[in-house]
Amino acid sequence: MTKHDPELSRLFHALADPTRRSILSRLAATPAGVTDLADPTGLRLPTVMRHLSVLEDAGLITSSKDGRVRTCALVPEALEPARSWLDEHRAIWEDRMDRLDAFVMNVMKDSKE
């Protein structure tokens, strides 16, 4: 495990914003055009484009242009590094909590004796 992984940092940065998470949720259903993604946010188009740029830089979405319409699509496998990192840390903390639980149980048992 590396202490600093720029790819993972970009991924978590992209996921940190609620607007970007909302866009990802929308794209989980089906690819969508930029204007379709912008409408529910209430944000101006340049702001939404910046959010889309962050998502694309993190590898979470792809976009294609057909004439004047830019369509974005989710890249679900891009979430795998975050899932792996979280699973790795969950295992570490579950092990620590198990050891703490065993310690507390021993202390309680010893105090009853």
Supply the DSSP string of 17-59, one letter for each residue.
SHHHHHHHHHHHHS-EEHHHHHGGGT--HHHHHHHHHHHHHTT
Q: Mean pLDDT over residues 72-88, rounded?
A: 94
| Residue 12 resides in a domain | yes
Tens of pLDDT along 56-79? 999 999 999 999 999 999 999 999
Q: What is the rounded CA–CA span in Å between residue 71 and residue 56?
A: 12
How many structural domains compose the chain?
1
| CATH number of the structural domain spanning residue 95 | 1.10.10.10
| Residue 43 resides in a domain | yes
| Residue 89 resides in a domain | yes
| Residue 101 resides in a domain | yes
| Residue 1 resides in a domain | no
Q: Mean pLDDT over residues 92-108, rounded?
A: 91
Where does the pLDDT of residue 1 fall: very low under 50, low under 70, confident under 90, or very high at 90 and above?
Answer: very low
Q: Mean pLDDT over residues 78-100, rounded?
A: 92
Q: What is the rounded CA–CA span in Å between residue 63 and residue 30?
A: 13
Q: What is the rounded CA–CA span in Å between residue 37 and residue 50?
A: 12
Range of the domain at 22: 6-111
Tens of pLDDT along 35-56? 999 999 999 999 999 999 999 9
The answer to whether 34 and 70 are in contact (CB under 8 A) is: yes
